[in-house]
Structure 1
Amino acid sequence: MLLTYLHNLIANNVIGDLQYKNRMVGFIGELNFSEWLKQNRQNIKVYEGGFFVPTVPNSRAYRDSIYFTVSSDLPDAYISIYKNIAKLSLLKYFYIHYDGAGNVADWQLFDVLNNGSRLAVPPMQFYEFNIETNRFRFSSLENFLSNYKINDNHKVRDKVTAITKANYINQLKELNPDCIKKIYVQRLVFDGYLGLKFQRGIPSDIDCILLSEKDQKLKFIEIKEKDLSKGVVKGFGMDLERINQLVSLAKTGLPVFYVVRRIKEQKDRKFMEWRIIDILDFQKNLDKKIIEGGTGMRSLSSSNPTQVCDLKHFKVLT
Structure 2
Amino acid sequence: MEKKDILEGIHMLVSNNVIGDKQLASRYKGFRGELFLENYLTSKYPNYKQMEGGIIISKDSNESSLDNSLYLSIIPEEDFDGSYVEVFSFLSKLNFQKMYLISYTDNWKELPVMKYANENISLNVPDIIIHEFDTDTNTFKTTSNNIEEITDFFTTIENRKKNSYPILESTKQWLIDNLEPFSTSQLIKIYLNRLFLDGYLGFGKEKGKPSDIDMIVKTSENVYRLIEVKEKDLPKFAKKGFGLDVPRLNDLVRISYETQLEYYLIVRQINNQTERELVAWKFIKIDSFFDNVKEDQTVIGGTGMRSINSKNETLICDYNLFNNL
Assess if the C-alpha contact under 8 Å between 1:150 and 1:198 holds in 2. Answer: yes
Look up the match of 2:7: 3
Alignment of structure 1 residues 149-298 onto 2, 5 Å? 149-157=155-163, 159-213=166-220, 215-251=221-257, 252-286=259-293, 288-298=296-306
What one-letter code is carried by the residue in structure 2 that aligns with 1:288?
D
Matched residue SS, 2:113 = coil
Range that drifts further, 173-182 or 107-116? 107-116
Look up the match of 2:90: 84
What one-letter code is carried by the residue in structure 1 that aligns with 2:43?
Q
1:155 deviates by: 3.3
Assess if the C-alpha contact under 8 Å between 2:34 and 2:229 holds in 1. Answer: yes
Distance 1:228 1:94 in 2: 38
Assess if the C-alpha contact under 8 Å between 2:63 and 2:247 holds in 1. Answer: no
Q: Percent identity?
A: 35
Distance 2:17 2:51 in 1: 26
Look up the match of 1:107: 108
Matched residue SS, 1:87 = helix
Q: Could you say which structure has the higher strand fraction?
A: 2
Matched residue SS, 1:31 = helix
- Runs (4+) of structure 1 moved beyond 6 Å? none
Distance 1:290 1:156 in 2: 32
1:57 deviates by: 5.6
Look up the match of 1:131: 135
Assess if the C-alpha contact under 8 Å between 1:111 and 1:119 holds in 2. Answer: yes
Does 1:97 pair with 2:97?
A: no
What one-letter code is carried by the residue in structure 2 that aligns with 1:52?
I
Does 1:13 pair with 2:14?
A: no
Cα pair distance change 1:75/1:91, threshold 3 Å: farther
Does 1:23 pair with 2:27?
A: yes
Look up the match of 1:302: 310
**TM-score normalized by the length of structure 1:** 0.94
What one-letter code is carried by the residue in structure 2 that aligns with 1:205?
D
Look up the match of 1:56: 60
Assess if the C-alpha contact under 8 Å between 1:151 and 1:199 holds in 2. Answer: yes
What one-letter code is carried by the residue in structure 1 that aligns with 2:181?
E
CA offsets 1:197-245 (integer angstroms, 9 cap, x no match): 01100101000000101x3210000000000122342110111111100
Matched residue SS, 2:121 = coil
| Structure 1 alignment gaps of length 5 or more | none
1:117 deviates by: 3.4
Assess if the C-alpha contact under 8 Å between 1:151 and 1:198 holds in 2. Answer: yes
Matched residue SS, 1:21 = helix
Distance 1:95 1:195 in 2: 19
The two structures, once aligned, show a CA RMSD in angstroms of: 1.5
Matched residue SS, 1:48 = strand
What one-letter code is carried by the residue in structure 1 that aligns with 2:7?
L
What one-letter code is carried by the residue in structure 2 that aligns with 1:94?
Y
Matched residue SS, 1:128 = strand
Distance 1:87 1:93 in 2: 11
**TM-score normalized by the length of structure 2:** 0.92
| Structure 2 alignment gaps of length 5 or more | none
